[in-house]
Amino acid sequence: MISTNIDFTRKRSSWWKRNQQRLTPWIFLAPGLIFFCIYVIGPIFGSLTISLYKWDGLSPATFVGLKNYILLLDDEYFYISLWNNLKWLIFFMLAVPIGLGLAIFLNQVIFGIRLIKSLFFFPFVISQVVIGLIFTWFYQPKYGVIAPFLNLFGLEGFSILANETSATYGIIFAGLYPQIAYCLILYLTGLNNLNQEQIEAGRMDGAKGFSLFWNIVLPQLRPATFLAIVVTVIGALRSFDMVAIMTQGGPYGYSNVLAYYMFEQALSEYGYRMGYGSAIATILFFIMMIYIIFFIYKMYQNEKKG
Amino acid sequence: MKKIITTLLLIFGFTFSTSYAGTLVINTDTSDPAPKAAFEMIIKKFEEENPDVTVEWNLFDHEGYKQSIRNFLNTDPPDVANWYAGNRMLPFVRAGLFEDVSDIWADSGWVDGNLSENMEHAKKSMTIGGKQWGIPYTYYQWGVYYRKDIFENLGIDVPTNWSQFLAACATLKANNVTPITIGSKYLWTTAGVFDYLNLRTNGYEFHMDLTLGKVSYTDPKVQAVFDKWDDLVKPGYFLENHAALSWQEALTPMINGEAAMYVMGNFAVAPLKEGGLTDDTLGFFQFPEITAGIPKAEEAPTDTVHIPSKAKNKTDAKRFLIFMSRADVQEEINKTLGQLPINKNSGVKEGDPFLAAGLNMLNNAYAMAQFYDRDAPAEMASEGMKGFQEYMSNPDRRQKILERLEKVRQRVY
């Protein structure tokens, strides 16, 4: 009896020893994977399912097939939100070149530059909600900070956030404020790691000014640029908090984005359309997927090269 | 480890102990100072009268409550929860989450006098499918709040019909005063204007038919309401840029004397007075007549208490609802709230001209509407109010907006 027992344990421990190398990474990954499945993968399929139902979140749900998506195709506000998402993607990108410009401007050695740099970085530290609130006050047609400037242009009493065409741009502008600071810090670290020898070599070959920047400095900043674009795209797609604070999608839905429209339909004070909200979320998910697949593909290519 | 287990046991022990009979759990959204004080006082009074009951009161943030009530009614139901009358309670009634309390309304032996009689005018707004689902305890009037001093300076009398009202607006506008202030950022203020134009143009029955989805939004009667609205929007009688302002922010022009009127609920009086207006400079009048001969119905949104159907202690919850319906209790609550009691045997706080005017108006009202977003189901209300806001900024789009609302109506009902 005793001997068989020992045999058994020896066998087991040897199996463990043989596979230890292969198993260890999975054991270390397990906690993360489990939570990723419960809180990310699970809900994705959950909301895909809910999008096929008509459900108010309280009563039993009824299966309606693709009806939510058909309704979505006939929904003006959906197209407005989609269009606004596109505006966000395009104009939010301004943060990258502006951040780069500021980074180059700040990348000098003078007295007190550290303090100045940290002041420029400050907006990123402030919460988005606070920035949204402050910009709403800036935009106040009569008492806001920008009112005197608007008066200069003959736009007396013009309210940026109450106008259906300017509201989205007003919010994007407020969103740019912290995003530029983010890009700035990415580029500042990039500029610290520039290879001075290459620049010297370029100088000797007669490159200066813009051509020096374009052909020698910018290529070296590629990792920073890549990262800045990635964060900015993600920032643009999840532009929820600014919209919620500044306009709540108003005036009459014209500054809505998909993320906020989903919230409005499913979860807000008057929102009892869980199925419809999930359908919007699904569309947003697929839009993000396009981008994420592109991003992963690019990373994979880069790693193969490296 | 031992420590963790004991703490866990303590926590569970605590949650279990809260649910024994004799404990009454009340959830309310009364986080603003006056409502909070009112509930503090009323719960204390209830405990004094019922020494065998311990009240456990969960105070929620006013805005957050609208979301949390959907969760707690299902997962962790209290014994009493406050909410609003009309169609606002429909989703919960339909989902079977509110208890039918018709017996409290019917059994006159439980209360002083007959509940149905003392609160007859509010019974309709508590009824869905022929049953009553809660007890109303307070309401307040809507109407036009105006700057008395500006009216006097410009020689304007309080308007009682539509042509006088338009003339008053024209005089104000000619004197560089914005006739009507409004802040429509959160949409619902536009519904107050729409409701009154509708109640005065077509009457209460049409308001109910429309909010119950029985009439089309492209109906000529709805068009007639918008014709009247055109009278105000097209000459620019409303505050500019209202879409960027909350209702509180829209008070500022009125306090500064740049605007003269506000179609609002009585809760606007407190911040207006804080802003420096007094009983001499601030006045109130009933929304003027539009179609002669139509009996005047008023907006009077009602706050209510309900028993969740999954409540553990329904016996004491019913005692609390009966307590809340009593004339003396409603009188005390509403004196603290600065609002009007539902029970007609209750007295009203004296020396407040706005409450006196409101009480007088509501007592003579033909019927009471809850408010567009409480009479109409949530989905219809949100789209409707968005449409009203768009119309107020772009009156030319009226037809397109009404067609869209009609599409929503056909989907919702």
Distances (CA, A) of A69 to A49, A75, B306: 13, 10, 37
Give the distance from residue A204's alpha carbon to the nearest chain B alpha carbon, in angstroms: 58
Q: What does the pLDDT read at residue A11? A: 56
Mutate to test the interface with A, among B256, B386, B412, B413 (most CBs of A within 10 A): B386
Q: Do B389 and A251 touch (CB under 8 A)?
A: yes
| Run of H or E residues at B180 | strand B178-181
CB atoms within 10 A of CB A44: 12
CB A85 within 8 A of CB A287: yes
Q: What does the pLDDT read at residue B241? A: 86
Q: Do B378 and A271 touch (CB under 8 A)?
A: yes
Domain boundaries, chain A: 71-305
Which residues are CB-contacts of B195 (< 8 A; sequence separation ≥ 6)?
B207, B299, B369, B371, B372
Please state, in angstroms and rounded to a whole number, the distance separating the CA atoms of residues A302 and A87: 29
Q: Which residue has the higher pLDDT, A48 or B10?
A: A48
Chain A residue with minimal CA distance to B187?
A252
Q: Do A58 and B74 touch (CB under 8 A)?
A: yes
Give the distance from residue A273's alpha carbon to the nearest chain B alpha carbon, in angstroms: 8
Q: What does the pLDDT read at residue B19? A: 44
Paired tokens of A274: 């869980």
pLDDT tens across the length of chain A (306 residues): 444 455 555 555 788 888 888 899 999 999 999 999 999 999 999 999 999 999 988 888 999 999 999 999 989 999 999 999 999 999 999 999 999 999 999 988 888 888 988 888 888 888 989 999 999 999 987 778 888 888 888 777 788 888 899 999 999 999 999 999 999 999 999 998 888 888 888 888 888 788 888 888 888 898 899 889 988 988 898 889 999 999 888 799 999 999 999 999 998 888 889 999 999 999 999 988 888 888 888 888 878 876
Q: Do A141 and B241 touch (CB under 8 A)?
A: yes
Q: How far apart are the first and last CA of chain B?
A: 57
Q: What does the pLDDT read at residue A5? A: 52
Q: Do A159 and B244 touch (CB under 8 A)?
A: yes
* CATH topology for the A71-305 domain: MetI-like fold (1.10.3720)
Give the distance from residue B382's alpha carbon to the nearest chain A alpha carbon, in angstroms: 6
Q: How confident is the model at residue B118 (pLDDT cuts 50, 70, 90)?
A: confident
User: CATH number of B142-299+377-412: 3.90.600.10, 3.40.50.10140, 3.40.190.10, 1.10.287.3510?
Assistant: 3.40.190.10
Give the distance from residue B309's alpha carbon to the nearest chain A alpha carbon, in angstroms: 13
CB A151 within 8 A of CB A240: no
Residues in B lying within 8 Å of A, measured between beta carbons: 66-67, 70, 73-74, 91-92, 94-97, 184-187, 240-245, 249, 252, 373, 378-379, 381-382, 386-387, 389-390, 393, 404, 411
B185-235, pLDDT tens digit by residue?
Answer: 889 999 999 999 999 999 999 999 999 899 999 999 999 999 999 999 999
CB B180 within 8 A of CB B237: yes
Q: How confident is the model at residue B4 (pLDDT cuts 50, 70, 90)?
A: low
Q: What does the pLDDT read at residue B113? A: 56
All CATH 3.40.190.10 domain ranges in chain B, comma separated: 2-137+303-363, 142-299+377-412
* Maximum separation of any 2 CA atoms in chain A, in Å: 99
Paired tokens of A144: 């806001």
Q: What does the pLDDT read at residue B153? A: 95
B344-359, pLDDT tens digit by residue?
Answer: 888 888 888 999 999 8
Average pLDDT over chain B, rounded to whole?
Answer: 89
Q: What does the pLDDT read at residue B47? A: 93
Q: In this model, does residue B244 exceed pLDDT 90?
A: no
Domain B2-137+303-363 = CATH 3.40.50.1970:
no
CB B332 within 8 A of CB B41: yes
CB atoms within 10 A of CB B5: 9
